[in-house]
Amino acid sequence: MKKIFGFQVSINNKTICRAGFENENSIVTCILDSIRRKNHDSEKLNISISGLNSDTHQYADWYKNNLHEGDKISIEIISNNFDTPNSIGDAYSEKDILKQKLKSYKKLKEELKDYLEE
């Protein structure tokens, strides 16, 4: 069996979560955002720790919050004792997944129509 990995995330030396799944077929992400818009004076700083259990087609969220200048983020690779997610989305059916793929396909086909050879 392959080793399973996740992330222990700390902000300002305080452990926020130990994100990971117990199954091999999954995705765990830690995303940091710095969002600035051309005509706005503000900047948003965010952190999101989430994932997908690919066996059940369920999305999970461990942590989402704003960050502030000077915050120190630490991420350690871990392989056990994962926290239960704060929220788990409803499972997507095969029909829902196919519908989303077709939607993405049609959007890209329209966007790239000038580059497609027929």
Question: Which tens digits make up the pLDDT trace of 78-88?
Answer: 999 999 999 99
Who wins on pLDDT, 89 or 41? 89
Domain positions in the chain: 6-91
Who wins on pLDDT, 90 or 33? 33
Q: Name the average pLDDT for the chain.
A: 92
E strands within the chain? 6-11, 14-19, 26-36, 43-53, 58-66, 73-78, 87-88
At 87-106, the pLDDT tens digits run: 998 877 888 888 989 999 99
Residue 47 makes CB contacts below 8 A (sequence gap 6+) with 9, 11, 30, 31, 32, 33, 63, 64, 65, 66, 67, 73
Backbone dihedral angles phi then psi of residue 86, each to the nearest 5 degrees: -70, -30
Question: What is the pTM (predicted TM-score) of this model?
Answer: 0.75
Q: Computed from CA positions of residues 43, 87, 59, 17, in that sequence, does the dihedral angle turn out positive or negative?
A: positive
Residue 65 makes CB contacts below 8 A (sequence gap 6+) with 46, 47
